[in-house]
């Protein structure tokens, strides 16, 4: 509350106390009078009190608002731009030359592992492949004999079964070789090796190195973490009430750490649900490469809210009380004991964007914008009168 508002509140509170307090010496016949109990959302003032409180009423206007939302979030990368490198069969680290921060390209060798199982699987594959070649030729020969009624059906079924079993074994061993980085098409009897190369699945920079020479790496151990920071996005957190103020395609300005340099992003997707803490997620892509922007960084961002014509009032017309926002509207004029009074009704609203001294007001269902006379000046004095109502009853 500004200094002038604060002074006005104090002044009107003193005025109310002086003019509407009950006199202790006027009991008797007055005690039998019925005391009017006002509803919780009503504030009643005399004409002199209204003048002292400097209350003015006006109408709700439909204005084009394009306010700014200040939000926070983190820098992230898409799952396809992050890689956790493991070795499905494990092994001992024979060599590696990488350090955290090194740039790597897709297919680049990250480390060399040794394991006796690598030799066994290559041997099994070559032996099974040779058997399959024999079985394939045998199957074709017996199939021709069976067609000419030279070979029995039972014998043909056995040959067919052996052929399919060996074919399945070859295919399974090919998949195992591919998992450890060996191309079956290039494997021959003279190429069997106890070492295999661990290669990078993506291009990027090395975020973490968890191995050293001689260390045994189990299949579940993470050897390297690689991040491609060429395509970053922001994961921003908004409050539930601001969910309708953002949309795909809107531009964002964001800042990292305490830097004054601003970076740009564009909203590409908004969340489809509200979290348990009543927040809403918005995702924005970062075009190009931004200097010093890395995954995991905390960011502050400013979103240009969508410009729409909305119900708006001067900022002074909206007051806050008990973590809720309200406006006051003229309710009715009346007369008591020959004195004129005016009643003002307190209406709970939700605040929207703020722009050029006006604030968007989200009104309750059924509110008549056309006929409502809203207190646009002196609302804080009415709120003070509301708070002191318990001390002013007569």
Q: Which CATH number fits domain 82-226: 1.10.3210.10, 3.40.190.10, 2.40.50.100, 2.60.40.10?
A: 2.40.50.100
CATH number given to 3-66+309-391: 2.40.420.20
How confident is the model over 65-114, as pLDDT tens digits?
766 788 899 999 988 999 999 999 999 999 999 999 999 999 999 999 99
Pick the residue with more confidence: 275 or 206?
Answer: 206
Pick the residue with more confidence: 321 or 37?
Answer: 321
Pick the residue with more confidence: 260 or 380?
Answer: 380
What percent of the chain lies above the pLDDT cut of 70? 87
Can you tell me the mean pLDDT for 319-335? 91
Domain with CATH 2.40.30.170 in the chain: 68-78+231-306
For 38-75, give the DSSP string: --TTEEEEEHHHHHHHT-EEE--EEEEE--EEEEEEEE
Contact residues for 204 (Cβ-Cβ < 8 A; gap 6+): 81, 83, 103, 104, 226, 227, 228, 229, 230
Copy the structure tokens of residue 32: 């039998």
34: confidence class by pLDDT, cuts 50, 70, 90: low
Domain with CATH 2.40.420.20 in the chain: 3-66+309-391
Copy the structure tokens of residue 272: 């489809």
How confident is the model over 119-141, as pLDDT tens digits?
999 999 999 999 999 888 888 88
Domain with CATH 2.40.50.100 in the chain: 82-226
What percent of the chain lies above the pLDDT cut of 90? 42
Contact residues for 284 (Cβ-Cβ < 8 A; gap 6+): 233, 234, 236, 252, 265, 266, 267, 268, 301
| C-alpha span between 131 and 164 (Å, rounded) | 12
| C-alpha span between 113 and 87 (Å, rounded) | 9
What average pLDDT does the chain have? 84
pTM for this predicted structure: 0.56
User: Which fold would CATH assign to domain 68-78+231-306?
Assistant: Elongation Factor Tu (Ef-tu); domain 3 (2.40.30)
Could you give the 3-state DSSP secondary structure of residue 6?
helix
């Amino acid at each position: 509350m500004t200094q002038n508002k604060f002074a006005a509140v104090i002044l009107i509170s003193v005025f109310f106390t002086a003019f509407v307090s009950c006199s202790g010496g006027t009991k008797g016949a007055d005690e039998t009078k019925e005391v009017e109990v006002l509803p919780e959302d009503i504030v009643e003032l005399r004409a002199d009190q209204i003048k002292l409180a400097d209350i003015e009423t006006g109408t709700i206007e439909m204005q084009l608002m394009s306010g700014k939302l200040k939000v926070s979030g983190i820098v992230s990368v898409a799952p396809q731009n992050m890689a956790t490198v493991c070795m499905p069969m494990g092994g001992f680290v024979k060599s590696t030359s990488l350090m955290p921060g090194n740039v790597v390209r897709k297919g680049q060798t990250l480390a060399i592992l040794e394991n006796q199982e690598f030799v066994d699987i290559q041997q099994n594959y070559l032996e099974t492949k040779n058997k399959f070649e024999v079985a394939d030729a045998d199957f074709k020969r017996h199939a021709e004999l069976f067609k000419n009624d030279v070979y029995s059906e039972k014998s043909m079924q056995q040959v067919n079964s052996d052929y399919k079993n060996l074919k399945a074994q070859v295919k399974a061993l090919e998949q195992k070789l591919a998992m450890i980085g060996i191309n079956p098409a290039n494997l021959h009897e003279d190429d069997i090796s106890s070492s295999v190369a661990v290669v990078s699945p993506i291009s990027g920079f090395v975020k973490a190195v968890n191995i050293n020479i001689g260390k045994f790496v189990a299949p579940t151990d993470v050897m390297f973490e690689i991040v491609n920071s060429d395509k970053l996005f922001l994961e921003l957190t908004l409050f539930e009430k601001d969910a309708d103020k953002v949309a795909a395609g809107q531009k964002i300005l964001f800042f990292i750490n305490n830097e004054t340099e601003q970076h740009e992003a564009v909203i590409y997707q908004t969340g489809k649900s509200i979290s348990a803490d009543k927040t809403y997620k918005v995702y924005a892509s970062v075009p190009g490469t931004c200097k010093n922007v890395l995954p995991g960084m905390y960011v502050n961002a400013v979103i240009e809210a969508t410009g729409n014509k909305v119900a708006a009032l001067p900022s002074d017309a909206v007051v806050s009380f008990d973590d809720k926002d309200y406006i006051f509207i003229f309710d009715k004029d009346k007369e008591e004991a020959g004195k004129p009074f005016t009643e003002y009704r307190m209406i709970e609203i939700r605040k929207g964007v703020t722009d050029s001294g006006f604030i968007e007001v989200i009104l309750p269902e059924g509110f008549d914008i056309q006929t409502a006379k809203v207190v646009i000046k002196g609302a804080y004095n009415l709120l003070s009168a509301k708070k002191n109502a318990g001390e002013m009853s007569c």
